[in-house]
Structure 1
Amino acid sequence: MAMIITPDVGRSMMEAIAAGRAKYVEQRYKQALASFTEAIKHCPCEVAKRKRKREELEDLENPELPEHTRALLASLTATRARPPPLECLNPLHLQALNYRSGTFEKVPDIRRAQADARRMMDIAPRSPEGYLRAAKLLRAENKSLEAFNVLTEGILACLEGPFEPEHLRILDKARNPLKLKYAKVDPLGSFLSLSWMSTAHLPFELIWNIFGRMDLAALCPCLRVSKSWRRLLAGPASVPYWRSLLFTGASNPRKPVPVRALRRLLSYSSNDIRELLVEDGRRFVLDRRKFDIILKAGTNLEHLEISNPSDALIVTQVPKHLKHLKLDGFQRFFKSHHTGNDPYRAMLLAVAPTLETLDLAGIPRQWFTDAQIPMMPNLKHLRLSKGREQPWALSVVHLLRSTPNLEQLHVEDINLNCILSQDESFDIYCLPNLKALTIVDTKAYVSQTHHQQLAWNHNVAALEAYRHLMVLNAGRNLRVLDLHYGWDYTGRNLEATDIFGHMHGNPAYEYANLEEFRASKLVVSPQVAQDLFEGPIRAGKLHSFDIVFPLPKLQEPLGESSAEHIKKYQWLEGAESIRSIGLYDFYFKSYIYMADHPLINFLNKLPCLEEVRITSNHFDTSDFIVTLRDILNLVKLKSAYIPQISGMAFERIRELAKQKGVDLVWEKRLPKWPLVLKED
């Protein structure tokens, strides 16, 4: 209710306030209090308040009323609720109350100072002065939480009606020293948002999205935040969060997971888990009992990864929807004198019909000796690597026959063979859908001293198996070819060591649709590379290409072999499809003029080049750094993978890359498996 302030009233209040301030400066606090009180009494709202009280008192003292009536009025007056305070628009009233509260604080009379601060909040609920004064008094009494709440109350009061944004900023600034300790927001409830200038709450969909992105290490502690959080996260609506139990990374338990805790985790998903990853089965102590509990709660399990279990696990209940399976270390439990069925082989046999992705580190013994590889009709991605003490050979023919719809094959250090019956020929079209082939053979090496042919022994059969894999579907369906295989075309008896022996020996074979060719150790003849890869390059399909340089010859001029090798790749110059190129084991001398560098010239003739991947084991560090500097200075790039440098050299190269706008990555680029192909 607005009160009319006449000029005389305003002048009287201003004079009383000025007199009170002068007495306050002279530390005559009692006289200052009297002046500030006098100023308050002149405010029209205080005059109306005193008039109302006087009228009530006159009614009680009226002699004409009967005694019992006066007693009744007195009782009603005493018990009647106080009327809500009226907002006063007189700034002088607020100023006088503020000064009087500060004077009471000096006397000291904290109780009255707090009463004046509360009165300020009553008559001016959207002005910051009362809340600031009350918060100051509370902090003086070491009541920081109450002070923070008062300031928050002021912000909320301002937001309820017309307000000045500056008032909000003042109140929020006063809260800053207290925010670190007391400004805790419950995202499941409402909270104060000054950016939105209102109280707000997160959209429910956003809350679910945040919880859904948490791993177990973050999600489990949320159960202990409060009862409301626990009810929410353990309730039916949160079941999807617990269907993926990933005990990896930060969520990998440091201590064995008790059976009781495992049952509780599974119960949060209503015993309907879809994904389980156990990074370290020994630390988890994954035995048959726990695995049986998991299987009972995983009838709809789709993704399972287990490494190094602590026991030979037995499938007591087959997951009928399992599509992705990764197992590591299961071959350790094979016993040759085992009278019953091998648990490892039995597990793979049980889930084989539904599998789409299979990753095995360590292969069942029966796959080697008896070729008992189960038929996997739906398998699309297969990755195999042998375990320790598995020297036997695996039949690539039986392997391919068991996976007729395979799209991606990754074999690592497997002793393969391609033994066929006398009247049988290898069917190169046995995998019509194969699109990606990765061969990793760390045993293959070249004698750097004598340039002899590889010491194959049992690897001769593996090379022949590799050659058959290279010509599947005549090479036309392959889109990714990744060969981690050591070979140098400059050696002797090339026909006995060339992994491309069947490929470039038959003109009907060609990699027409190849998009990526990776080879970190394979030294390919430039002429062979042209025969094999010029077609997809000119067709605009092959966008990632690797070049490995041959070993320097004995007593050759510095960098001669690398310079001759790169010049023979002139057929690649001008190829617009090449976006990424890998350069491995090169050795160039330093050039006075950087533009004369044969590698720089070659890279600058690839018009659409965006990325280089560089490592070399033949360089001195200083020469290698000079070459890297020249590449960054003269070749326009977006990213560079250089895992070899460290220390101050890395800092200098990183600073140069930053100046040139190149994203420098100090690690090898390892593609995720299964590979993500464009149409996938």
Structure 2
Amino acid sequence: MAMIITPDVGRSMMEAIAAGRAKYVEQRYRQALNSFTEAIKHCPCEVAKKKRKRRELEDQEGSENAQALLTTLTATRPPSLECLNPLHLKALNYRSGTFEKVPDLRRAQADARRMMEIAPCSPEGYLRASKLLRAEDKSLEAFNVLTEGILACLEGPSEPEHLRILDKARNPLKPKYAKVDPLGSFVSLSWMSTARLPPELIQDIFGRLDLSSLCHCLRVSKNWRRLLTASVHYWRSLLFTGTSNPRKPVSARSLRKLLSYSSNNIRELLIDDARRFVLDRRKFDIILKAGIKLERLEISNPPEALILTQIPKHLKYLKLDGFHRFYRPSDLSRDSYRTILAAVAPTIETLDISGIPRQWLTEAQIPMMPNLKHLRLSKGRDQPWPLSVGHLLRSTPNLEQLHIEGINFNVIPPGYETLDTFDINCLPNLKALTIVDTKAHMSQTNHHDPSTLDAYRRLTVLNAGRKLRVLDLHYRWDYTGFHLDSTDIFSRMHGNPAYEYENLEEFRVTKLVISPQVAQDLFEGPIRAGKLHSFDIVFPLPKFREPLGESSAEHIKKYQWLEGAESIRSIGLYDFHFKSYIYMAEHPLINFLNKLPCLEELRITSNHFDSSDFIVTLRDILNLVKLKSAYIPQISGMAFERIRELAQQKGVNLVWEKRLPKWPLALKGD
């Protein structure tokens, strides 16, 4: 309620305030107090206040029960009304400052509180009160008063400048006292209100934390612990990986407690180092009992053989590493590794095992896995026996992605009349094939085991190659200088016109040198169809005593059929060796790259270059070829810093690591 201020009242207050300020400058504080008090008395709200108190006292004297009436009046007394007289606020502020000089901090605080009462949306009272509290070493109370002022300004009509003034006064105190609990309400000046994070956002934030961070959050407060343990969503995925990999063994009691947060209903469990975890049979049994609906299980490096006491009937993703080490020929009936794989075979969709069960290798006892879509196999160091590729593929009829690493094969396609029928009809849904051969040689005189090489050939033409979308061959061989014969991994592909990579999207090789003519025969079709978008080229070794860079220059010129291909978005260049060119535009590699109109990503490395020559080539490419990203894992030190700065100037995202695709591969449309 606004009070009417007459010109006489306003003039009287201004004269009294001016007189008080003059006496304050002369350090006549007592006389200044009297002047400021006189100014305050002239304000209409103070006059109305005095009249109200006088009426209450008169009513109190005429009452038989004065004490009861006084209590009633105090309880029902209306709060102080906001005074819109700026001279009243100014007089109170000056009088509070004068009391501080006297000093009389109690009365100075009383005036500051009065300022907050009559002008709750003005910063002066809060600033004065916080200053007085800091003078008494009450920093926390000063911070709270300023925060109270901000809240009052947010609730009522106020100027944004008032909020900025109050928040600026809080800045020196924020490092110590501005602790915001995101689970409660807090002041948000950006939103100009008190704010509370939506429950959905809180759940999303906690859902992004790793297991170690979640366990630390349990110790913040009882409120945090209650909220985190009330939601089983956070604890259904227990990933003991990376920073969450425990440094000390996890006790059975702690494991039970952790599992209880999910109501004993975990869906994912990943243990990077089961030996450090000390995952024994007792703990594994506890996990199985809490994982009735377990969908993903990854265990590496177990300290002992684990027994499957309860079959997880919903398991879809399984990764086991090192389980083959506990094979005992004397007790074949109790081979726990084979038992685990046989038990989950009906439901498993993704299987990643390092170290193959002995029975799969020597007796071909591979269980039928009708739902398996993604398979990754690698043999252990002490497993020299071959794996029957025929039995393997017959046991996985719906396989979509196959990744094999360091495996010796024998080709025994059971149930097929001819080998050609085996090639065409096997794995009709295969979309991605990765072959990693760590035992290949580059010398023609040191051939692979013929059966293994024949298995590789047959794998590259499964289902006639028509459904294949990703072909990734980490296989070292250089047959560009030889006739296409039994050493050619693609001999079955280009030897039969019925085979064609018509849907291929990615072709990756980092060691396999292919002649440009063979590459054209195999991949020109999907490139011209606009499907093949990622392509790799490995350059041959330089010939003995040839002019510097001649082999690489001749090799890249034979890829003229690739020039102008609009489908190519990413290209890899490996083991090239070019001489330096005075004019960068004459460089054959730069000319080739500039003729790929839609090129965005470059993956490049070479082991045949001097470091300085390689840096010059990289510099020329970044200067003349338009790119979005480049993967260059070979350089380091100051050379990397110079290349990084140049890439930044050209708007190229430079990545100092190899581009390793995730497994299973994320294929579009799946």
TM-score of the aligned structures, taking structure 1 as reference length: 0.95
The aligned runs of 1:172-571 (5 Å cut-off) are 172-235=167-230, 238-338=231-331, 340-419=333-412, 425-426=418-419, 427-428=422-423, 429-447=425-443, 452-456=444-448, 459-490=449-480, 492=482, 495-571=485-561
Which AA in structure 2 matches 1:14?
M
SS in 2 for 1:672: coil
Mapped to 2, the partners of 1:538 and 1:60 lie a distance apart of 102
Which AA in structure 2 matches 1:446?
M
Listed one character per residue, the Cα deviations across residues 466-521 of structure 1 (whole Å, up to 9, x for unaligned) are: 11111211211111100000000145575242211222222222211111110000
Which consecutive unaligned segments of at least 5 residues does structure 2 have?
none
SS in 1 for 2:360: helix
1:111 aligns with 2:103: no
Mapped to 2, the partners of 1:52 and 1:678 lie a distance apart of 80
Which AA in structure 1 matches 2:149?
G
Query: Paired residue for 2:73?
Result: 80
Task: Please give the root-mean-square deviation of Cα atoms over the aligned residues, in Å.
Answer: 1.8
Mapped to 2, the partners of 1:241 and 1:430 lie a distance apart of 42
SS in 1 for 2:50: helix
SS in 1 for 2:370: coil
**2:653 maps to which of 646, 658, 663:** 663
Query: Paired residue for 2:52?
Result: 52
Offset at residue 337 of structure 1 (A): 2.4
1:161 aligns with 2:151: no
1:14 aligns with 2:14: yes
Q: Residues 493 and 342 (structure 1 numbering): CA distance in 2 closer, same or farther, change over 3 Å? A: farther
Offset at residue 220 of structure 1 (A): 1.8
Mapped to 2, the partners of 1:340 and 1:74 lie a distance apart of 95
Which AA in structure 2 matches 1:98?
N
Q: Which deviates further from its counterpart, 180-189 or 586-595? A: 180-189
Q: Residues 561 and 227 (structure 1 numbering): CA distance in 2 closer, same or farther, change over 3 Å? A: same
1:622 aligns with 2:612: yes
Which AA in structure 2 matches 1:536?
P
Offset at residue 54 of structure 1 (A): 3.6
Which AA in structure 2 matches 1:182?
Y
Taking every aligned residue pair, what percent have the same amino acid on both sides? 81
Mapped to 1, the partners of 2:256 and 2:136 lie a distance apart of 50
Contact 2:389 2:413 in 1 (8 A): no
Query: Paired residue for 2:599?
Result: 609
Mapped to 2, the partners of 1:597 and 1:76 lie a distance apart of 102
Mapped to 2, the partners of 1:436 and 1:78 lie a distance apart of 86
Listed one character per residue, the Cα deviations across residues 634-663 of structure 1 (whole Å, up to 9, x for unaligned) are: 111111111111111111111111222211
Mapped to 2, the partners of 1:394 and 1:677 lie a distance apart of 28
Contact 2:391 2:412 in 1 (8 A): no
SS in 1 for 2:346: helix
Listed one character per residue, the Cα deviations across residues 446-485 of structure 1 (whole Å, up to 9, x for unaligned) are: 14xxxx43343xx332111111111211211111100000
Mapped to 2, the partners of 1:113 and 1:180 lie a distance apart of 28
Offset at residue 5 of structure 1 (A): 1.8
Contact 1:453 1:491 in 2 (8 A): no
Q: Which deviates further from its counterpart, 221-230 or 248-257? A: 221-230
SS in 2 for 1:234: helix
Which AA in structure 1 matches 2:368?
M
Mapped to 2, the partners of 1:565 and 1:126 lie a distance apart of 78
Which AA in structure 2 matches 1:186?
D
Which AA in structure 2 matches 1:488?
D
Mapped to 1, the partners of 2:547 and 2:492 lie a distance apart of 35
Contact 2:390 2:414 in 1 (8 A): no
Mapped to 2, the partners of 1:258 and 1:240 lie a distance apart of 23
SS in 2 for 1:80: helix
Which AA in structure 1 matches 2:354?
A
Contact 1:558 1:588 in 2 (8 A): yes
Q: Which deviates further from its counterpart, 104-113 or 578-587? A: 104-113
SS in 2 for 1:273: coil
Listed one character per residue, the Cα deviations across residues 187-238 of structure 1 (whole Å, up to 9, x for unaligned) are: 3332222222222222222222222222212222222222222222222xx1
Q: Which deviates further from its counterpart, 25-34 or 145-154? A: 25-34
Mapped to 1, the partners of 2:428 and 2:142 lie a distance apart of 74
Q: Residues 78 and 437 (structure 1 numbering): CA distance in 2 closer, same or farther, change over 3 Å? A: closer
1:37 aligns with 2:32: no
Mapped to 2, the partners of 1:499 and 1:147 lie a distance apart of 78
Offset at residue 425 of structure 1 (A): 3.3
Mapped to 2, the partners of 1:117 and 1:151 lie a distance apart of 12
Query: Paired residue for 2:569?
Result: 579
Mapped to 2, the partners of 1:495 and 1:7 lie a distance apart of 112
Offset at residue 45 of structure 1 (A): 1.8
Mapped to 2, the partners of 1:157 and 1:642 lie a distance apart of 57
Q: Residues 492 and 3 (structure 1 numbering): CA distance in 2 closer, same or farther, change over 3 Å? A: closer
Which AA in structure 1 matches 2:331?
H
SS in 2 for 1:644: coil
Offset at residue 159 of structure 1 (A): 2.3
Listed one character per residue, the Cα deviations across residues 300-325 of structure 1 (whole Å, up to 9, x for unaligned) are: 11111111112211110000011110
Which consecutive unaligned segments of at least 5 residues does structure 1 have?
none
Contact 2:373 2:401 in 1 (8 A): yes
Mapped to 1, the partners of 2:59 and 2:372 lie a distance apart of 97
Query: Paired residue for 2:115?
Result: 120
1:143 aligns with 2:138: yes
Which AA in structure 2 matches 1:441?
D
Mapped to 2, the partners of 1:508 and 1:48 lie a distance apart of 104
Offset at residue 415 of structure 1 (A): 1.2
SS in 1 for 2:330: coil
Mapped to 1, the partners of 2:606 and 2:40 lie a distance apart of 86
Which AA in structure 2 matches 1:434?
L
SS in 2 for 1:345: helix
How many positions carry a matched residue from both structures?
665
Mapped to 1, the partners of 2:60 and 2:279 lie a distance apart of 86
Q: Which deviates further from its counterpart, 374-383 or 531-540? A: 531-540
Contact 1:453 1:497 in 2 (8 A): no
Contact 2:115 2:124 in 1 (8 A): yes
Which AA in structure 1 matches 2:464?
A
Q: Which deviates further from its counterpart, 345-354 or 570-579? A: 570-579
Contact 2:632 2:657 in 1 (8 A): yes
Q: Residues 5 and 396 (structure 1 numbering): CA distance in 2 closer, same or farther, change over 3 Å? A: same
Q: Residues 392 and 39 (structure 1 numbering): CA distance in 2 closer, same or farther, change over 3 Å? A: same
Offset at residue 535 of structure 1 (A): 1.2
Q: Residues 31 and 613 (structure 1 numbering): CA distance in 2 closer, same or farther, change over 3 Å? A: same
SS in 1 for 2:106: helix
